Amino acid sequence: MDLKVLTQTVQGQAVRNLREAITSGIFQPGDRLVEAEMCARLGISRPSLREALRSLEAERLIVMVPNKGPHIPILSLEEAKAIYEVRALLEGEAAALFAGKATVAALEAMKRALAGFDAATKQEDLQAQLETTRQFYEQILSGCGNRIIEEMLSTLTARITFLRSKSMSQPGRAHKSSREMRAIFKAVSVGDAAAAREAAVEHVRMACRAATEKFLADQVRKKDWLSRSKTKSSNG
């Protein structure tokens, strides 16, 4: 049992709340975060807020341009791909390491997460899909024996969470995702490190492809919208 007393600092809570707000898409890429407004919303002072912002800046969840303040970065396709590449590398390694040392309890937890994911898919509950996926990976990452991989991946995935939710909602993606995760599960449960790595890399590759397609589709729609509104305004 964990008896640790958790001292919650105002700054720490602010970081958590803001991180949650950013990754869950409450703030959109490009949005400015006006300090005074954030202070009011969070109920904290400006110095504390700014400390929180610096933490988030270091996590690359926001960018702070001098004299222009904090805003949500706009992820380029190139950068997103680079992130997926590194994710593939790290998750592949984690899966391979985990394959050699998976405990029964961890495998059980993964099985439950998979079942939960399929249930969420049936109910079209996007939030639950992301949560069960997280639970699935949590076992791999905490069980792979390398804390640094876990650390790196948690910041990387945070940066693309909003992409993930978008790509997961694409038709057919959830079922494919389920199959890919089951492939990972199968490999680690029989202790096949090479296959586990391969499956994990494949899963990220497919997610990357889905996100890329979604990204490009959104871009086309945006351009379309811009040209239409332009015509409209020049007419009006």
Residues at the interface with DNA (CB under 7 A): 7, 9-12, 32-36, 43-48, 50-51, 64-70
Radius of gyration of the chain from its Cα atoms, rounded to whole angstroms: 20
91 binds a copy of itself (CB under 8 A): no
When the beta carbons of 2 and 78 are compared against DNA, the nearer one is 2
235 binds a copy of itself (CB under 8 A): no
Token pair 């997103």: residue = 80
H or E element, residue 64: strand 63-65
H or E element, residue 69: strand 69-71
180 binds a copy of itself (CB under 8 A): no
Q: With contact defined as beta carbons under 8 Å apart, do 201 and 88 qualify? A: yes
93 binds a copy of itself (CB under 8 A): yes
149 binds a copy of itself (CB under 8 A): yes
Token pair 């993606």: residue = 173
Token pair 């300090």: residue = 35
Q: Which does 44 bind (CB under 5 to 8 A by kind): a copy of itself, DNA, none?
A: DNA
47 binds a copy of itself (CB under 8 A): yes
H or E element, residue 63: strand 63-65
Q: Which stretch binds a copy of itself (CB under 8 A): 8-16, 106-114, 125-133, 211-219?
A: 8-16
57 binds a copy of itself (CB under 8 A): yes
Paired tokens of 5: 């007393």
Q: Which does 110 bind (CB under 5 to 8 A by kind): a copy of itself, DNA, none?
A: none
Measured from the CB of residue 225, what is the shortest distance to DNA in angstroms? 20
HSE-CB for 99 with a 13 A CA cutoff: 23
152 binds a copy of itself (CB under 8 A): yes
Measured from the CB of residue 145, what is the shortest distance to a copy of itself in angstroms? 8
For 17, 38, 47, 49, 151, the CA distances from 52, given in Å and listed in that order, are 10, 11, 9, 5, 19
Q: Which does 153 bind (CB under 5 to 8 A by kind): a copy of itself, DNA, none?
A: none
Rounded to whole angstroms, the Cα distance separating 161 from 167 reads 10
Site residues for a copy of itself, 105-124, by CB under 8 A, read none
3-state SS, residue 144: coil
The footprint of a copy of itself (CB under 8 A) covers 7, 9, 11-12, 47, 50-52, 54-55, 57-60, 66-67, 79, 82-83, 85-86, 89-90, 93, 146-149, 151-152, 156
